[in-house]
Chains A and B, each alone.
Chain A
Amino acid sequence: EIVMTQSPATLSVSPGERATLSCRASQSVSSNLAWYQQKPGQAPRLLIYGASTRATDIPARFSGSGSGTEFTLTISSLQSEDFAIYYCQYYKKWPPVWTFGQGTKVEIK
């Protein structure tokens, strides 16, 4: 079973600053990695898939990188609406089993 580990658990950032979130897989997941944003009371929203491709209507300040076991989500200049919890997700192609990281909370510094 693949385990996804996110760090840090909480990231305190000032508006306008850059945020870098990490996700590590216990074994290679190739590029089958997605990032989600979740705000209180809402379902997760897909930001990045294929490790580095932005989903539809996602602003360019969000970028993803990495492959294999090490992945990064970067928010280049934090906006007020970006303060939320971010999850990485490994989506196995077949059988289509998913594994999520435990999340990183991005809070206002």
Chain B
Amino acid sequence: QVQLLESGGGVVQPGGSLRLSCAASGFTFSGYGMHWVRQTPGKGLEWVAFIRYDASNKFYADSVQGRFTISRDNSKNTLYLQMNSLRVEDTAVYYCIAFHDTRGEAYWGQGTLVTVSS
């Protein structure tokens, strides 16, 4: 069955860096655009970034532009999110999602918690 497994979350100080990974299985990873979405109790669900199936296009939310980098390795069925210059307000659960709008498919991982605190 479809599985997305995030890892790499943890506690980091403001200004620090983390790299999240999302290991995909059970579907053709290389055929899907991939998203990162984060969730906080206060701000709800917030879209973070997107990468096209072949990595030819990447888009970011204004709140993370210039600090976060999305990438993928289709040979390893893995999605990444490099997060630099982290801020307290980046604290959230981060989800990776495989999304296909015309087929009505949205596969979400279980999420990984990132806490930015001194």
Contacts and interface: CB of A to CB of B under 8 A. Distances in A.
Interface of A: 32, 34, 36, 42-46, 49-50, 53, 55-56, 87, 89, 91, 93, 95-103
Contacts of B95: 43-44
A34 B59 contact: no
Contacts of A46: 104-106
Interface of B: 33, 35, 37, 44-47, 50, 57, 59, 61, 95, 99, 101, 104-106, 108-111
B104 A44 contact: no
A93 B101 contact: yes
Nearest to B62: A1
A96 B45 contact: no
15 contacts: A36-B106, A43-B108, A43-B110, A43-B111, A45-B108, A46-B106, A53-B104, A55-B106, A56-B105, A89-B45, A95-B57, A96-B33, A97-B59, A99-B47, A102-B44
